[in-house]
Amino acid sequence: MANIYKVSHWGKENESNQKEYFLPEDLQGFRDRHCITAHKSARKFELFAEMRVRDYFYLCDNMFYYCDDKPSLMRIVLLGRVRAEGPVPGVKGDGWFERSYEIITIKNPNVLPEYKYENKHYWEPNGSATIAKVKPEELGCFEKRIFDEYFKMKLSDLGIGACC
């Protein structure tokens, strides 16, 4: 059975624990090339490395890239499926890695989904992890909060069964 993940494109902490954010053109470039990216120092990078071909993910990024030097809002961008083994070194160099994907469905980038739930799971849009894997026992909650709400789909549409 395929796994499902959340991937956030919003940056990393540098050596001084300061956030380094992607610029809007970086984010668009990743989408144009159909690749998700993560830095080897990111929390849970091992999940990025363990993703398999045919695993699914939903992608979040920052809508307002700089607001008092902090990201102000995450948005849900698209649902994708990993299409190649990896990760491979990324075009940003210096510890960045990429995975290629195919788009399953894309959100209208002009529509900001207002996430109305309290963030209790790393896989939620504002969860603090760059990448998070949805645990099998959380699939029901994930389906309600993300799939049904934002993609108007059921996990069964992808051959993934919600158990709760």
Both tokens assigned to 124: 């939620």
Question: Over 50: is that where the pLDDT of 32 sits?
Answer: yes
- Calculate the CA 70 to chain-centre distance: 18
pTM for this one? 0.79
Distances (CA, A) of 55 to 1, 68, 86, 145: 9, 36, 12, 19
Task: Pick the range with the lowest mean pLDDT from 38-52, 99-113, 135-149.
Answer: 99-113
Task: Pick the range with the lowest mean pLDDT from 81-85, 127-131, 155-159, 160-164.
Answer: 160-164
What are the structural domains, with CATH classification, of the chain? 4-158 (3.10.590)
Contact by Cβ (8 Å): 61, 38: no
Average pLDDT, the chain: 76
Residue with tokens 């900001």: 112
Name the residue among 128, 136, 155 with its Cα closest to residue 144. Answer: 155
| pLDDT confidence of residue 164 | 46
Name the residue among 4, 154, 150, 3 with its Cα closest to residue 77. Answer: 150
| pLDDT confidence of residue 111 | 55
Q: Rounded distance, CA 138 to CA 123, Å?
A: 10
pLDDT tens digits, 93-136: 788 888 989 989 887 655 555 566 666 788 888 766 788 999 99
Q: Which residue has the higher pLDDT, 58 or 118?
A: 58
Q: Does residue 152 come out as left (phi exceeding 0), alpha (psi in the -120 to 50 range) or beta?
A: left
Mean pLDDT of 22-45: 72
